[in-house]
Amino acid sequence: MGPQHHMPEAWLVDYAAGTLDEANALLVACHAALCPTCRETLRLLDATGGALLEDQAPVALADDALAALFARIDAEDAAAEPARPGHRPGHQTVDLDALLPAGDGTLRLPRPLLAYLPTAPQDLPWRWNGPGVHVIDLAVGRHPGTRTVLMKIGAGRAMPQHTHKGTEALMVLAGGYRDERGDFFPGDVAISTGEVDHRPIAHDDGECLCLAVLDAPISLTGTVGRLLNPFIRF
């Protein structure tokens, strides 16, 4: 059985069009690696986009169009970072084989994620972020205010009760957790905003590994949590 909590359809459309920011494009690519349903949706979106392009009527070009194009390419090449699998500038065919998980038998991660890891998965420099919780910040894109995080929660351990000052998109990579909305397993996606106040708890049978993209910090709730907010960074 595949994931039960899917990526929003609008995000899949933006990913296929190449208009989604790099951090969330990475999240979509990782979800598609584990979700046959969303991979098929991306396949259909690509086919639809290609058909629409073929149906477009030709447009006359200005005399200096070619020179302007070369100048733009030169400017973009000078400023560009090396291409990574989660980043899809402009419409292009989704390479489904490039998304599928890779790795050893104990931890298979989506291929797009591997390009962003600072080390091999077994050597990752985890940073303590509270009892039972460890994180790693990933360098993904240049979108101001966006944070991309790998998060590991110990078996049976809980995150503190919290809500969100912005939007958090989170995907389970391995293991699983539960909160007030239900259970989440590998490939499942949870979108949380200020309307969500929850306390995720990792399943008892093993660590929960997640990839999260946040456009604003979380905010602890409850009497004690509110007192701790000035000292917490997540």
Burial (CB count within 10 angstroms: exposed 0-12, middle 13-18, buried 19+), residue 105? exposed
Q: What integer pLDDT is reported at residue 48 of this predicted model?
A: 76
Rg from Cα positions in the chain? 20
93-108 pLDDT, tens digit per residue, is: 345 455 555 544 456 7
Q: Is the pLDDT of residue 231 over 70?
A: no
Cα 109 from Cα 4, distance rounded (Å):
19
Share the mean pLDDT of the chain.
Answer: 81
Contact criterion met (CB below 8 Å) for 99 and 24: no
209-218 pLDDT, tens digit per residue, is: 999 999 998 8
pLDDT over 90 percentage in the chain: 56
The pTM of this model reads 0.77
